[in-house]
Amino acid sequence: MKRMYLEKTGTRMAAKGINKKADWMSNLPEVLKKQPLSSITMPGTHDTGAFCLDCRDKPAPDAPDFVNAVSWIPGVKKVLADWGITQSLNFQQQLEAGIRYFDLRVATYPDSRELYLVHTLYGPSVEDMLSDVDAFLNEHPGEIVLLDFNHFYDMDVSDHEALLTRLLTVFGSKLCAADYPVSDMSLDRMISQGKRVIVFYLSQVQVAVKTQVATRASILSPWANTPDAGQCMEFLEDTFACPPVADFVVCQGVLTPTVTTVLCNLCSSLHSLNLTLSPLLNQWLSSTPHHLSIVLADFVEETDFIDIVLARNHRSRAGKPYQNIL
C-alpha cells in the first residue's frame, strides 16, 4: 500500500527545468565503451530517496534515540525534514538528468513490514523506486544503473529475502548476478548481454537468492563526515590522490551536519549548507587529474555538477579529448 508524503521540494526544479541527459551512456566515445565499466565517470545522488520525507509520521529507524525523544515537540519534524532532504528530483527525474548511481538506505515500516527509503524520516517506497528504474531502463536500452543498498534498519532475514526476491522479480535477466564479472566488463559487452542493473548489497545476510541478485564486485565509499566545506575538499583531494583499492570507489561530495550544526541553525537546511560546498566541489571536479568512477552530491541539478562529471568522460587520462566525442 502506498502512503502519502509531504513534498518538501520540487518547486525549484519546476521553475528551472531539467536538462535531460537520459542517453548519455549511449553517446559516450566508442573507445570508452570498450574499457572496463569503472573507467567511466558516473554521477550519483547522495541519499537518493530523500527528495521527500514524511513530517506527519514517526521518525524512521535510522533516527538517533534523542530524535525519537523530542519528535513529539511541534516543529521538530519539520526541522528534521529540512536537514534530511538531500535531493529535489524524484527517481525518474534523476535518471533522466543523467544520474546512474543510487545511494539507498532501507527500513521496514512497523506492522506492515513494507520497505521504505529513509533518512531520519520515512521517504518513498522501495517499490516505487524499483518501478521507476525498470521503466527508465526499458525506455533507454543503452543505459545501466547501479543500485547501492548500503544501510538497513529493522530488517530481519525474511525482510532481506523479500527485498532480494523483489529485485529479481522486477529486473530478472537485467541483473548482474554474483558470478557476473562486473569488474572486467565494458559497457558495450554489458549492454550486448542484456546486463543493465548492478546491485551492491552491503549486508552479510545469508539468503540463497542473494547470489542471483547482488554482485561480488567491491565498492568503497570514503566519507569526510564533516559540515565544513574546506575540510571536505581536503579529504577528497587526499583520498583520491591515492585512492583505496576496490572495483568501484565513490567520491562523496557531501557535507554532514552535526547536532550542533542543526541546533545552531534551526531555521536553515541542508540545502543551504550545501551551497557552501557546491562551487568548491565543481571547481575541483573540473580540474583534478585523479580518476573518479562514481561521484555523488546533494541537490545535483542546481549547479553544473552533472555536466562537469559527464565532461570527464570526454577527455583521456592525459586530459586531452578523445577523437570521437559525440
Q: Do the bridges between strand 219-220 and strand 248-253 make them parallel or antiparallel, or are there none, so unpaired?
A: parallel
Residue 46 catalytic?
yes
What residue has cell string 552533472? Answer: 306
- Choose, from 46, 140, 160, 271, the residue flagged as catalytic: 46
In whole angstroms, how far apart are CA 15 and each of 11, 12, 98, 116, 272?
6, 5, 19, 29, 18
Instruction: Please tell me whether residue 107 adopts helix, strand or coil conformation.
Output: strand
Dist. CA 58–CA 266, nearest whole Å: 19
In whole angstroms, how far apart are CA 303 and each of 13, 23, 261, 279, 282?
11, 20, 24, 8, 8
- How crowded is the C-beta side of 174, counted as CA atoms within 13 Å? 23
- Choose, from 119, 140, 160, 271, the residue flagged as catalytic: 119
- Terminal Cα distance for the chain, rounded: 44
Residue 119 catalytic?
yes
DSSP string, 217-260: --EE------S-HHHHHHHHHHHHHSPPPSSEEEEEE-----HH
Catalytic residue numbers?
A: 46, 119
